[in-house]
C-alpha cells in the first residue's frame, strides 16, 4: 500500500505538491489545536499522571504496530534490515530522551505522527532520505516560528527548539518506512546535504538570521519587559538546566545555540539513511 502511494505521488507531482501543502497547512500547523482537543476529551476523567500514562501506552502500542511492516519488508534482505533497525534503535532512544528531557506532556507525541506522515508525502518530490529530513526540519522550524511569533507571542517565552528536534526525529519514522519498501525512484549520493536545495535554503536562513541579529532586528535574548523581546528567540532567560512547570513536571528548554548544534548533529547522523546497499549483501 505504501509503495503504491509513493509510486502514485512520484508519477503525479501535480498532485503531490498540493497534497504536501494541504497536509502541512491543515494537519501539521494546527498540532497545538490537536493537543487541546485531546486534552479536552480527557479533561475531568483522569489525573495528569493517568493521562500521560494513557498516551504513553498508546504510543508504545503504536510503535509495536509500526515495527511489523519494517520486519515484513526487510525479510530476506539482512543488509537492509540491519540498516533500518540500527536507525530505528537510535531513533527510539532519541525519542526516549525527548520524553525525559524535552516533552512537557505526552500528547506532544503527535509531532512524531505528523512529521512522519509529512516525510512520507514529501519524499516522492525530494527522492533523497537525508534531504527529506532536512526539508522536514525546515518546515518544523517554520511551524514553530509561526506559533511563536504570530499565533501566541504573548504566552510563549522562547522559540521552541525542543519541538524542532522532536519534529526532525518524527520525520525519520516516516522515512524508515519508505526505506523499507525501497521505492525505485529513490536517489542517493555521498554529499547530498551540501549539494541539495534544502541545504542552500538552510544556509540562506542562517545567513538571514545572523544578519538580522547584527542589525538588531532579531535578538537571541532580551528582557521580558523590553518591547523588542517580541523579536527575541528567548524572552525569559532560563535559570539552570531544568524548567519546572508543575511540582512533578520538569523539562529542559533547549537554547538557540544548543538547538542548532543538536539539529546539525542529528542531520549528519541521519544522512546515512540513503546509504547504498550492494546486491551481494542481500
pLDDT in tens, 261-281: 999 999 999 988 988 876 444
pLDDT at 192: 57
Tell me: the pLDDT tens digits for 9-48? 999 999 999 999 999 999 888 766 666 666 666 666 677 7
pLDDT at 276: 82
Quick one: what percent of the chain has pLDDT higher than 90? Answer: 55
Span of 17-31, 130-144, 214-228 with lowest mean pLDDT: 214-228
pLDDT at 86: 97
Stated pTM of the model: 0.91
The mean pLDDT value of the chain amounts to 87
Tell which wins on pLDDT, 155 or 198: 198
State how far the Cα of 229 lies from the Cα of 74, in Å rounded to an integer: 51
Buried-state track 99-138, b at ≥16 Cβ within 10 A, e below 16: beebbebbbbbbbbbbbbbbbbbbbbebebbbbbbbbbbb
pLDDT at 83: 95
Over 90: is that where the pLDDT of 139 sits? yes
pLDDT at 278: 65
What is the arithmetic mean of pLDDT over 117-127?
A: 96
Cβ atoms within 10 Å of 183's Cβ, excluding its own: 17
Amino acid at each position: 500500500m505504501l509503495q503504491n502511494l509513493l509510486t502514485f505521488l512520484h508519477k503525479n507531482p501535480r498532485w503531490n505538491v498540493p497534497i504536501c501543502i494541504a497536509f502541512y497547512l491543515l494537519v501539521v500547523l494546527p498540532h497545538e489545536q490537536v493537543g487541546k482537543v485531546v486534552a479536552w476529551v480527557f479533561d475531568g476523567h483522569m489525573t495528569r499522571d493517568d493521562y500521560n500514562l494513557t498516551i504513553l501506552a498508546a504510543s508504545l502500542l503504536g510503535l509495536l504496530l509500526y515495527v511489523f511492516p519494517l520486519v515484513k519488508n526487510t525479510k530476506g534482505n539482512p543488509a537492509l534490515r540491519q540498516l533500518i533497525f540500527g536507525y530505528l534503535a537510535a531513533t527510539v532512544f532519541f525519542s526516549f530522551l525527548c520524553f525525559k528531557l524535552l516533552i512537557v506532556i505526552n500528547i506532544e507525541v503527535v509531532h512524531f505522527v505528523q512529521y512522519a506522515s509529512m516525510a512520507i508525502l514529501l519524499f516522492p518530490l525530494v527522492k533523497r532520505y537525508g534531504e527529506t529530513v532536512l526539508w522536514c526540519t525546515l518546515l518544523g522550524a517554520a511551524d514553530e516560528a509561526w506559533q511563536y511569533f504570530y499565533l501566541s507571542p504573548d504566552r510563549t517565552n522562547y522559540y521552541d527548539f525542543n519541538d524542532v528536534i522532536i519534529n526532525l526525529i518524527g520525520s525519520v519514522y516516516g522515512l524508515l518506512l519508505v526505506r523499507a519498501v525501497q521505492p525505485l525512484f529513490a536517489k542517493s549520493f555521498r554529499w547530498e546535504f551540501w549539494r541539495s536545495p534544502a541545504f542552500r535554503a538552510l544556509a540562506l536562513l542562517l545567513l538571514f538570521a545572523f544578519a538580522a541579529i547584527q542589525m538588531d532586528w532579531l535578538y537571541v535574548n532580551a528582557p521580558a519587559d523590553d518591547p523588542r523581546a517580541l523579536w527575541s528567540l528567548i524572552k525569559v532567560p532560563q535559570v539552570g538546566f531544568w524548567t519546572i512547570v508543575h511540582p512533578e513536571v520538569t523539562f529542559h528548554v533547549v537554547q538557540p545555540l544548543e538547538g542548532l548544534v543538536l539539529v546539525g548533529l542529528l542531520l549528519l547522523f541521519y544522512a546515512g539513511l540513503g546509504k547504498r546497499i550492494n546486491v551481494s549483501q542481500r
